């Protein structure tokens, strides 16, 4: 995977924190490491704390391709309102990511699963060029890149099997109010699956062959910091797909529920602390709780209960 490794300043109506370990790659790596071996490609500046690299390494994340360069690490600052929903970006400083090109070590060129986390789409394409015949490519992006590099984001979507994007960004990309229309336009670019994330309202999976699946979010009373929800979602989703090695419709549905569960842990605490606290048992508990949340009695769609007798 490639993506931003960052320090974040986060404000909510209830609290404010500075220089938190963040970035799309950090959240993704911590979540996905619950499912599979993660190899992180990225760059940090000389201000990056050694203990933060150790945190990732301690999760089993391979950080051999995480470069350190002279300069400032990626810094993002954002603010949330009382709905704790979408972030308002106050500043984005690309730092050492500004003129960086990924260099994939030879040993990683045959990886089967690739996740292009949120970062400059030209970096995402550059990395993808260096991988030989990946089985599954998934990507994420955000409004910042849609605004400045829309056509490159479209190129990344064209070359991905699974696209993850949030609701507002899907609308922005397709320049439409209709999520259904936006989904159709994105799928027409070529991916076989599209996941549209809707924050506390859950997520929607659209398949190119016409199938759909909608999942609610895991209901939480405590949300301290929504930052990284989308990246942790992607970690659970891609982690599950890598673990099962399949893009079957059923596995994609399960992957969406794993993504939902990972996101629920991520938002409970600042930085990666929430997702780092999730254990396999806790993941399984919330997975089953989500299943029962959407079960309608004992019947299933495939083996529906017989109709009531006619009078
Ligand atoms: P999300 O999962 O959407 O909440 O992602 C939040 C993370 O994205 C934060 O930790 C930021 O450091 C990172 N981020 C913010 N803006 C950008 C950007 N333009 N490119 C890449 N990563 C970003």
Structure confidence at residue 306 (pLDDT): 55
Closest ligand 1 atom, residue 232 Cα: 2
Query: Which DSSP symbol is given to 6?
Result: E
Q: Tens digits of per-residue pLDDT, 282-294?
A: 999 999 999 999 9
Residue 304: Cβ within 10 Å count: 8
42 pocket-lining for ligand 1 (C-beta < 6 Å): no
302 pLDDT band, cuts 50/70/90, is: low
Q: Tens digits of per-residue pLDDT, 154-184?
A: 999 999 999 999 999 999 999 999 999 999 9
Q: Tens digits of per-residue pLDDT, 186-243?
A: 999 999 999 999 999 999 999 999 999 999 999 999 999 999 999 999 999 999 999 9
Structure confidence at residue 85 (pLDDT): 86
225 pocket-lining for ligand 1 (C-beta < 6 Å): no
229 pocket-lining for ligand 1 (C-beta < 6 Å): yes
Encode burial over 68-79: b for 16+ CB neighbours within 10 A, e otherwise: ebebbbbbbbbe
Q: What is the mean pLDDT of residues 58-72?
A: 98
Residue 69 pLDDT more than 60?
A: yes
Residue found by looking up tokens 């009373």 in the block = 221
119 pocket-lining for ligand 1 (C-beta < 6 Å): yes
In this prediction the pTM is: 0.95
Nearest 5°: the CA angle 136, 194, 289 is 95
Residue 54: Cβ within 10 Å count: 11
**CA distance linking residue 183 with residue 277, whole number of Å:** 34
Which helix (H) or strand (E) segment is 21 a member of?
strand 16-22
Q: Are 12 and 41 in contact (CB under 8 A)?
A: no
Residue 301 pLDDT more than 80?
A: no
Residue 247 pLDDT more than 70?
A: yes
Closest C-alpha to ligand 1, atom 19? 144
Residue found by looking up tokens 């089993």 in the block = 60
Q: Are 78 and 8 in contact (CB under 8 A)?
A: yes
Residue 297: Cβ within 10 Å count: 6
Token code pair at residue 184:
């159709």
Mean pLDDT across the chain, nearest whole number?
95
Q: Are 199 and 229 in contact (CB under 8 A)?
A: yes
Q: Tens digits of per-residue pLDDT, 123-157?
A: 999 999 999 999 999 999 999 999 999 999 999 99
72 pLDDT band, cuts 50/70/90, is: very high
**CA distance linking residue 97 with residue 231, whole number of Å:** 18
Q: Are 237 and 195 in contact (CB under 8 A)?
A: yes
Structure confidence at residue 297 (pLDDT): 83
Q: Which residues contact 61 (CB under 8 A, 6 or more apart)?
A: 29, 30, 33, 38, 39, 40
Closest C-alpha to ligand 1, atom 21? 119
């Amino acid at each position: 995977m490639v993506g931003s490794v960052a320090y974040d300043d986060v404000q909510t109506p209830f609290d404010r924190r500075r220089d938190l370990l963040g970035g799309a790659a950090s959240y993704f790596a911590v979540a996905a490491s619950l499912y599979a071996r993660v190899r992180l490609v990225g760059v940090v500046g000389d201000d990056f704390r050694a203990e933060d690299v150790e945190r990732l390494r301690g999760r089993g994340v391979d950080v051999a391709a995480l470069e350190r360069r002279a300069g400032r690490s990626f810094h993002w600052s954002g603010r949330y309102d009382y709905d704790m929903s979408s972030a308002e970006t106050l500043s984005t400083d690309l730092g050492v990511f500004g003129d960086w090109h990924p260099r994939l070590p030879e040993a990683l060129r045959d990886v089967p699963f690739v996740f292009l986390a949120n970062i400059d789409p030209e970096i995402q394409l550059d990395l993808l060029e260096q991988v030989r015949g990946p089985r599954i490519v998934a990507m994420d992006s955000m409004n910042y890149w849609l605004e400045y590099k829309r056509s490159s984001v479209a190129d990344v979507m064209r070359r991905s099997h699974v696209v993850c994007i949030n609701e507002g960004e899907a609308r922005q990309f397709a320049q439409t109010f209709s999520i259904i229309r936006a989904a159709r336009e994105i799928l027409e670019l070529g991916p076989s699956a599209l996941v549209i994330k809707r924050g506390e309202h859950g997520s929607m999976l659209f398949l190119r062959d016409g199938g759909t699946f909608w999942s609610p979010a895991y209901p939480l009373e405590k949300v301290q910091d929504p930052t990284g929800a989308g990246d942790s979602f992607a970690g659970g989703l891609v982690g599950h797909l890598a673990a099962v090695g399949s893009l079957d419709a059923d596995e994609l549905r399960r992957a969406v529920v794993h993504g939902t569960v990972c996101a629920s842990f991520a938002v409970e605490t600042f930085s990666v602390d929430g997702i780092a606290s999730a254990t396999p048992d806790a993941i399984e508990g919330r997975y089953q709780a989500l299943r029962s949340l959407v079960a309608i009695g004992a019947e299933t769609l495939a083996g529906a209960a017989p109709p009531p007798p006619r009078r």
